[in-house]
């Protein structure tokens, strides 16, 4: 079913399909994309999805192009959190992510893996250049780069050009000389003073405690870490009428042990440097007022179908 067909059905009918799909745990990322395009204001503010590669042990993210295409079409007022796990990522895969204008948090990780999944440091440099050239990642506050065999210097140097980036998690094993890296440019490891005061209170968490907590889903971890970024920028968290967001975890195999050897770096925005500004929500709305008569006749026929029949279009 196309978004236009749902719109002609009206929310009265479409909501019944939407609620049935949610209740039966059959609301896939593909189906959600259709509802989001047709009724962006009526559906829930937050959704999370787990997408598995069709070939369970494939190292190539074959669904990534279509996934990026859907996410790239989201309204700019949304936030997207994306976790890509257990794939052998090329520079082309990284550059493709620059099309997602709503990307707010990105986690790239995999289990301890053979050499063929390691990523050359030059890929980070090429990625950073593409981000600058395309003026991409204007909302990206959070980035985690797992065990890809990359040094922290290489990662922090490359992503320093991501203008909005505030918190970076990098795999910390294998540094030359075994010496811990405390800082790099504007990046500082450890908790800033405001966070030290915050985590002294009960139930408050640092990036590491959030990351290693086995009771928190990866989708929730990304949102909590993103909230720390907003607090670091001394911007108020939105609690009323929250911004719509989506979390997608894309994996090539279910078996996975999270990399807990992550060093966390907050960015210090020095005085005189312009902090990233919040983009205004895109107000463009497409109102199709004059569909052809054949489409109207077709939709009238669809409206006569029961909800059970309509659900089959999403199977």
Residue 300 inside a domain? The answer is no
The answer to whether the beta carbons of residues 117 and 140 sit under 8 Å apart is: no
In a domain, 131, yes or no: yes
| Inside any domain, residue 134 | yes
pLDDT at 111: 64
Half-sphere exposure of 192 (CA within 13 A, CB side): 17
Count CB neighbours of 300 within 10 A. Answer: 10
Structural domain total, the chain: 1
184 beta partners: 187
Residue pair 155/145 in contact by the 8 Å Cβ criterion = yes
Question: What pLDDT shows up at residue 96?
Answer: 98
Alpha-carbon distance 45 to 24, whole Å? 19
- Report which of 242, 35, 265, 304 is spatially closest to residue 141, judged by C-alpha positions: 265
For residue 176, tell me if it sits in a domain. yes
Residue 31 lies in a domain: no
Q: Which domain holds residue 58?
A: 45-273
Q: Write the CA distances from 130 to 66, 82, 121, integer angstroms.
A: 20, 19, 15
Given a cut of 70, the residues of the chain with pLDDT beneath it are: 56-57, 111-117, 173-181, 199-204, 236-242, 253-259, 271-315
Kindly give the pairing relationship between strand 262-267 and strand 245-251: unpaired
Domain assignment of residue 227, yes or no: yes
Rounded (10°) CA dihedral 96, 101, 102, 105: 50
For position 40, what pLDDT does the model report?
83
The answer to whether position 203 is within a domain reads yes
- Is 178 within the bounds of a domain? yes
């Amino acid at each position: 079913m196309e978004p236009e067909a749902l719109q002609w059905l009206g929310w009265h009918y479409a909501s019944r399909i939407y609620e049935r799909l949610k209740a039966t745990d059959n609301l896939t990322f593909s189906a959600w994309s259709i509802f989001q395009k047709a009724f962006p204001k009526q559906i829930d503010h937050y959704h999370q999805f787990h997408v598995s590669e069709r070939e369970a042990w494939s190292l190539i993210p074959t669904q990534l192009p279509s996934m990026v295409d859907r996410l790239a079409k989201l309204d700019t007022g949304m936030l997207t959190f994306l976790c890509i796990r257990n794939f052998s990522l090329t520079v082309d895969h990284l550059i493709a992510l620059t099309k997602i204008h709503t990307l707010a948090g990105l986690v790239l990780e995999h289990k301890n893996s053979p050499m063929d999944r390691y990523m050359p440091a030059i890929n980070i440099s090429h990625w950073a250049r593409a981000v600058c050239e395309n003026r991409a990642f204007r909302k990206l506050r959070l980035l985690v780069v797992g065990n890809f065999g990359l040094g922290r210097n290489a990662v922090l140097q490359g992503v320093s050009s991501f203008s909005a980036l505030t918190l970076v998690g990098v795999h910390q094993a294998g540094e030359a000389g075994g010496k811990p890296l405390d800082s790099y440019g504007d990046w500082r490891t450890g908790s800033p003073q405001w966070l030290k005061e915050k985590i002294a209170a009960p139930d408050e968490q640092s990036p590491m405690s959030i990351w290693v907590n086995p009771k928190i889903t990866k989708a929730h971890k990304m949102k909590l870490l993103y909230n720390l970024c907003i607090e670091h920028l001394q911007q108020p968290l939105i609690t009323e009428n929250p911004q719509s967001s989506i979390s997608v975890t894309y994996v090539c195999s279910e078996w996975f042990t999270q990399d807990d050897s992550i060093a966390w770096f907050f960015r210090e925005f020095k005085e005189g440097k312009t902090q990233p500004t919040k983009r205004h929500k895109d107000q463009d709305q497409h109102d199709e007022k004059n569909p052809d008569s054949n489409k109207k006749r077709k939709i009238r026929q669809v409206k006569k179908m029961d909800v059970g029949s309509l659900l089959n279009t999403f199977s």
